[in-house]
Homo-oligomer: A and B are copies of this chain.
Amino acid sequence: MQYRFTEGAGVDPAEKARMIDAGTLQAFTAKVFEGLGMPAGDAATEAEVLVWANLRGIDSHGVQRVAAYSRAVDAGGMNPRPRIRVERETAATVLIEADYAFGPVVTVQAMERVIAKARTAGIGWGLIRNTSHQGAMAYYTQMAARAGLAGLAVVCSPPNMAPPGAKQAGTHNSPIAVSVPGLRRPPISLDMATSVAAGGKLDVARDKGVAIPEEWALDAEGRPTTDPGQSAFLRPAAGYKGYGLALIFECLSSLMVGNPLLSTTISGEGAPRPGTQNSFVAAIDIAAFTDVEAFKRDVDRLADAMNGLDTVEGAPPILVPGQPEEQVLAERTANGIPLPPGTVAKLRAAAERFGLDLPAALA
């Protein structure tokens, strides 16, 4: 198993994680964001999207982000009280200026709008300009799936990934997420970066001081490296294919909203504010094309067919995208979310800064 859909579930037992239930963690995290100046409703949304990721084992996109988000607010890169506004609109499309909002705050709004448009126009397609980190993109595409539609979401950010042959970052390892609803099964839900490995996996390796596979990253001279401390650029998944997808995502997001992030950063002319993201989200109304119940049943059958494929000796059953995360969700809903010491320290620092009580499970 060379690649996984996400960074994978489970936490190194050596990390001596503290276990906390999702509700308590979410309520505390929301208070932190209120401390950062966000209205209560927005703070709740932000906390929900982070804990949603933790519940599914996507810990790099979970509550450990509070530290970086706090620094970004202090530096003026993330705006806790943005003036989000619709700039253009058609029957099926919408362009939203996010004013450097926290990603989840604007992206939830955008997804709600495209779902509503899809119900009348068959499809809704929304562009978001000048957002900030959006968390786990599958959160938004699964909003559409829960509403009985197909959901799609893509992000672009400044460059961090070197095209094959380059010794310089050219594109971002922009992720794409797509979810479709099942009937008795959870959605099939893909959420993948266009790099071999997500950036968060390098952070983990760096923190632990362990080597990385040489497919993951290049050093500053463009040479493959197994030392996460020397890694300067991510490498694209499948070489030219990951690079090509990432480049196209910049065109369909950043260039479509008149806010180029790659060429400006590379040239230094008109470079964006650090952490800026552009994005598009879409919802497709299944009912515009076929019977929704039949579609959901066919999603189940497709997942069943994959799970039932013959495997090579010793290989586990073939899963569908989203299935590993659903397995972690069941386990963490029952047993709580394990937070490693580093994450607990970040939450403790936030509690101290804003005069909050750290949940007893973490104290």
A318 to chain B, nearest CB (A): 5
Chain A residues 148-191 with CB under 8 Å of chain B are 150, 162-168, 170, 178, 180, 188, 190
Chain multiplicity (copies): 2
In the complex, are the beta carbons of B238 and A123 less than 8 A apart? no
Residue from B5, B123, B188, B318 in contact with A92 in the complex, judged by beta carbons closer than 8 Å: B123
Contact code string A261-276 (vs B, CB < 8 Å = 1, else 0): 0110011000000000
In the complex, are the beta carbons of A289 and B2 less than 8 A apart? no
Most buried by B among A4, A150, A222, A305: A305
Q: Report how many residues on chain A are interfacial, defined by Cβ distance under 8 Å.
A: 83
User: Measured between alpha carbons, how far is A244 from B166 in the docked complex, in Å?
Assistant: 27
In the complex, are the beta carbons of A180 and B263 less than 8 A apart? no
Indicate whether A32 reaches chain B with its CB closer than 8 angstroms: no
In the complex, are the beta carbons of B5 and A240 less than 8 A apart? yes
Contacts A237-B241, A260-B302 given: A252-B5 contact, CB under 8 Å?
A: no
Indicate whether A15 reaches chain B with its CB closer than 8 angstroms: no
Chain B, residue nearest A189 (CB)? B248
User: Measured between alpha carbons, how far is A328 from B32 in the docked complex, in Å?
Assistant: 57
Indicate whether A95 reaches chain B with its CB closer than 8 angstroms: yes
Q: Is the interface of A mostly helix, strand, loop or mixed?
A: mixed
Contacts A165-B312, A192-B241, A240-B4 given: A90-B122 contact, CB under 8 Å?
A: yes
In the complex, are the beta carbons of A302 and B262 less than 8 A apart? yes
Chain B residues whose CB sits within 8 angstroms of the CB of A162 once the complex forms: 309
The stretch of A63-71, A290-298, A343-351 in contact with B is: A290-298
Please provide the 9 A-B residue pairs with the shortest distance between their CB atoms, ordered closest to farther.
A93-B122, A90-B122, A165-B315, A237-B238, A92-B92, A238-B238, A3-B239, A222-B312, A263-B305
17 A-B pairs whose Cβ atoms sit less than 8 Å apart in the complex: A3-B238, A93-B288, A127-B289, A163-B309, A163-B318, A165-B316, A166-B312, A170-B306, A192-B244, A192-B245, A221-B312, A223-B312, A238-B241, A250-B302, A251-B299, A260-B298, A266-B305
Given contacts A90-B120, A263-B302, 6 further A-B contacts (CB under 8 A): A5-B244, A90-B288, A180-B251, A190-B244, A190-B248, A241-B242
